[in-house]
Amino acid sequence: MADAGASGGEAVVVPERTGNDWSAGSESGAVELCFAVPSAGTYRIETTDIAPDQLSKSYWVYLDGAAAWLDDVEATPTFAPHLVNDRNGANPIEVDLTPGDHTLVFANREDGTTLDRVHLIQVP
């Protein structure tokens, strides 16, 4: 959707009142990002998102087809940086990646959560 506050003037959102997906694995309303890692290492995933309220603030996040993380985003009315976490585990998530191609998927859990940017941060 067009959004003047987004880094490129557009962001990905599941519109409010289109439904929530409480079950990991269905990947309804998903966006898939393919990327290459130049060197092996431990990485964090940082996003820039909007979570308009306490009922619209989470995604299912998958990396390379592994089990989903339930990522809770801080409720904020404007785009803000966020490190991907797992409600039932690590905060933030740190992943060991090998050089080469990888796939990251953000799937709808709660409608209204808006994704602008995604990038990897290598942990020293």
pLDDT tens-digit series, residues 15-56:
787 778 877 766 668 899 999 999 999 999 999 999 999 989
Tokens 């992943």 correspond to what residue?
A: 95
For domain 29-122, the CATH superfamily is Galactose-binding domain-like (2.60.120.260)
Query: Which among 34, 36, 12 has a CA at the least distance from the CA of 107?
Result: 12
Q: Helix, strand, or coil here: 78?
A: strand
Measured between alpha carbons, how far is 81 from 66 in angstroms, rounded to an integer? 24
pLDDT tens-digit series, residues 67-103:
999 999 999 999 999 999 999 899 999 999 999 999 9
pLDDT at 59: 92
Residues of the chain by 3-state class (helix, strand, coil), percent to 5 = 0, 50, 50
Both tokens of 54, joined, read 């306490």
pLDDT at 28: 65
- Answer yes or no: is pLDDT of 122 > 90: yes
